[in-house]
């Protein structure tokens, strides 16, 4: 059996890709107004949107326990996997990587953990690269290196209607949130080093969508690309992004994946989120 690939629920991979690549997905936990549930198993985007749109809002998220990862790794190895590569959302945003590392240390050197330095399909593309390498017969180091190479070729940008949810969750500081509120701007964020950073400010949602497309084109350079579009309770924005991105990239675009962001990202970004992930298909070092 080839090297098994594990990720977490914030990759927001289309279900058909999870099945096709035989991925194992470990869910994070979301607590919405006191109701606790596993992301993608018990708690879904609509649940988060409903709570976040209400007057009373108490939301928190938590990483999987190290014991959960350890159990998953042992089950995969016992089933015949040669090793396990576990790829997760940025350590700047969550303790998930730390939990996976603790579990890997307990299970042994047949498990290695990769920090994607991102979330959404900016995590998902490295996971798919790892799974493709595993399916081609790569060993543990080769699968890990495939994931790391994909991390270096992947960029995420996202638009939110307000910085308030990011502020509440501690993902940006109060000064940045106040700046956005005081000047009534719509922020565009990115994750250059694994943390969420304000990149641009626009006045309207339509300008935000247009700016996401421009940033995606800039990030791609001259490379062919795979793209992903995420949204939260904003399918029309996703449709606009897909149409504009398809027109701008033309035959340089190989695949475009569209999924709604799950409850974990919803808790910290809020309804109206629109995101573009760019995965360059050629190695910039080559």
pLDDT in tens, 222-266: 999 999 999 999 999 999 999 999 999 999 999 999 999 988 888
Task: Supply the pLDDT for residue 186.
Answer: 81
68-108 confidence digits (pLDDT tens): 999 999 999 999 999 999 999 999 999 999 999 999 999 99
How many residues are recorded in the chain?
286
Return the DSSP state at 226: E
Cα separation, 182 vs 50, whole angstroms: 26
Taken in order of first residue, the domains within the chain and their CATH numbers are 4-28+63-152 (3.40.50.10170), 154-280 (3.30.1180.10)
Task: Specify the pLDDT at position 285.
Answer: 43
Are 162 and 53 within 8 A, CB to CB? no
pLDDT, tens digit, 9 for 90 and up, residues 149-198: 999 999 999 998 877 666 665 545 554 554 555 456 788 989 998 988 88
194 three-class SS: coil
Alpha helices in the chain (DSSP H): 15-20, 45-52, 66-78, 96-107, 121-135, 140-152, 164-168, 174-182, 205-220, 235-249, 263-269
The enclosing H or E element of 157 equals strand 154-159
Q: Specify the DSSP element, H or E, that contains 81.
A: none
């Amino acid at each position: 059996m080839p090297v098994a690939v594990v990720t977490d629920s914030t990759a927001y991979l289309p279900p058909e890709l999870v099945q096709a690549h035989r991925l194992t997905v470990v869910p994070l936990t979301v607590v919405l107004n006191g109701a606790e549930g596993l992301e993608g198993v018990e708690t879904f985007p609509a649940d988060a949107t409903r709570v976040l749109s209400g007057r009373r809002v108490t939301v928190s998220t938590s990483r999987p326990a190290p014991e959960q990862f350890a159990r998953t790794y042992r089950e995969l190895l016992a089933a015949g996997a040669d090793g396990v590569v576990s790829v997760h959302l940025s350590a700047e945003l969550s303790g998930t990587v730390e939990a996976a590392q603790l579990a890997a240390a307990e299970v042994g050197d047949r498990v290695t953990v990769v920090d994607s330095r991102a979330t959404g399909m900016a995590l998902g593309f490295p996971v798919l690269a790892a799974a493709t390498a595993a399916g081609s017969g790569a060993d543990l180091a080769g699968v890990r290196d495939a994931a790391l190479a994909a991390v270096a070729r992947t960029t995420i940008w996202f638009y939110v209607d307000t910085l308030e949810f990011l502020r509440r969750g501690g993902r940006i500081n109060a000064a940045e949130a106040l700046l956005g509120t005081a000047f009534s701007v719509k922020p565009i964020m990115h994750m250059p080093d694994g943390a969420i950073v304000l990149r641009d400010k626009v006045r309207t949602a339509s300008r935000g969508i247009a700016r996401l497309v421009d940033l995606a084109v800039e990030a791609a350079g001259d490379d062919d690309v795979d793209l992903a579009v995420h949204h939260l309770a904003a399918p029309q924005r996703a449709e606009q992004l897909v149409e504009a991105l398809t027109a701008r990239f033309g035959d340089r675009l190989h695949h475009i994946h569209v999924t709604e962001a799950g409850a974990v990202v919803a808790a910290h970004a809020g309804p109206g989120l629109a995101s573009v992930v760019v995965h360059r298909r050629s190695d910039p070092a080559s």
